[in-house]
Homo-oligomer: A and B are copies of this chain.
Amino acid sequence: MTRPTSSDPKRTLTLRDVSEASGVSEMTVSRVLRNRGDVSVATRERVLEAARSLGYVPNKIAGALASQRVNLVGVIIPSLSNMVFPEVLAGISDTLEDTGLQPVVGVTNYSPEREETVIYEMLSWRPSGMIVAGLEHSEASRAMLAQAGIPIVEIMDIDGEAVDSAVGISHYRAGRQMAEAIIAAGYRRIAFLGTMMPHDHRARKRLKGFEEALAKAGLTLADSEFYSGGSALLKGREMTEAILKRSPDIDFLYYSNDMIGAGGLLYCLAQGIDVPGKIGLAGFNGVELLDGLPRRLATMDACRLEIGRRAAQIIAGKHEGTIGGEVIELFPTLEPGDTIRKG
């Protein structure tokens, strides 16, 4: 109440103010502002001018309530602190851009309880659709999503049952594929390094596929190391040091993500270890960061941008009409980089 603000806004403006200022009914103002229905050029100009000069900002809350339409799409992801979800988001925003829909992000920190809360909060705003990372949710979460009566797209993963639609890759198969490539390249004493976050289902599925492919070749994991929290690059370095000290005969290190893989790579190079001759390395994700490394880490692109795009398309499409769940599987490409022996 102290600082002066231009043209004292004691009360926030409504359609009525614009209507009075321009001498037409509220309804006509509403029509002008939404570009809907027929309005003569003259009144349109007059209304726009009035709205602009007053600094009117429509109240979407009232609008949404009256029209039963909300241009929001809820996007629920576990974390923002690694590069993977922002990239999915970018794909979503791009695609939603020219549909009038707008993404609203919620973060769960890999906690199912938190996810439940975030979904509940999100749904209470009656969005036009929801994009949720992963297929694993609490019973209550699944129920809420199923009941919501809006298109739901679960992303990243397709190894499981979707509530409605799904777009993603098979992490299980991604793990297998990487294992097969490693075995084909002649590595035999293979170790795994990853997170121990119990709720990173996708990392778990990759490991499962990986181990099964090893088993098929008569191999088992030679060693493994898990971490949680902290700087991934540093953890990668530390875990690599630890595992190589403990099991010096290891000839391959499979990391659950590129960031720790990069840490491991830097460690190996600093130690003068022959990569990929003596030890091979591989990560997962295809993060941009890797381009700047002294040597290109083998990895597997998780199709993040594409996943975002497809998910957004589904929402935007159903928004227009079609009903019915669809599951879209994308196929990651193995990028051998310079850290797996050729052939």
Question: Using a CB–CB distance below 8 Å, which chain A residues touch chain B?
Answer: 1-3, 5-7, 9, 12, 55, 57-62, 64-65, 70, 80-81, 83, 86-87, 89-90, 93, 102, 104-105, 107, 120-121, 123-126, 143-144, 146-149, 164, 230-237, 262-263, 266, 270, 288-294, 323-325
Whether B59 pairs with A124 at a CB distance below 8 angstroms is yes
Distance in angstroms from A145 CB to nearest chain B CB is 10
Candidates B3, B9, B124, B231; contact of A57 at CB < 8 Å = B124
With A86-B80, A324-B3 already in contact, the answer to whether A60 and B124 are too (CB < 8 A) is yes
Q: Which residues of B contact A104 (CB under 8 A)?
A: 104-105
With A231-B289, A293-B233, A294-B270 already in contact, the answer to whether A143 and B61 are too (CB < 8 A) is no
Whether A120 pairs with B57 at a CB distance below 8 angstroms is yes
Distance in angstroms from A41 CB to nearest chain B CB is 24
Whether B65 pairs with A124 at a CB distance below 8 angstroms is no
Candidates B55, B126, B232; contact of A61 at CB < 8 Å = B126
Candidates B230, B233, B237, B291; contact of A231 at CB < 8 Å = B291
Q: Which residues of B contact A146 (CB under 8 A)?
A: 5-6
Q: Which 5 A-B pairs have the closest CB atoms?
A: A233-B292, A234-B292, A231-B291, A80-B86, A234-B291
CA distance A294 to B288 in the complex (A): 20
Whether A143 pairs with B55 at a CB distance below 8 angstroms is yes
**Count of identical protomers in the assembly:** 2
Nearest-CB residue, chain B, relative to A10:
B149
Candidates B3, B105, B289; contact of A105 at CB < 8 Å = B105
A-B contact pairs, 22 of them (CB 8 A): A3-B164, A3-B323, A3-B324, A3-B325, A5-B147, A9-B147, A12-B148, A57-B147, A59-B65, A60-B125, A60-B126, A61-B61, A61-B64, A80-B80, A81-B86, A104-B105, A105-B105, A231-B288, A231-B290, A231-B291, A231-B292, A232-B292
Whether B124 pairs with A323 at a CB distance below 8 angstroms is no
Nearest-CB residue, chain B, relative to A324:
B2
Distance in angstroms from A65 CB to nearest chain B CB is 5
Whether B233 pairs with A289 at a CB distance below 8 angstroms is yes
CA distance A235 to B123 in the complex (A): 42
CA distance A256 to B124 in the complex (A): 42
CA distance A9 to B149 in the complex (A): 7
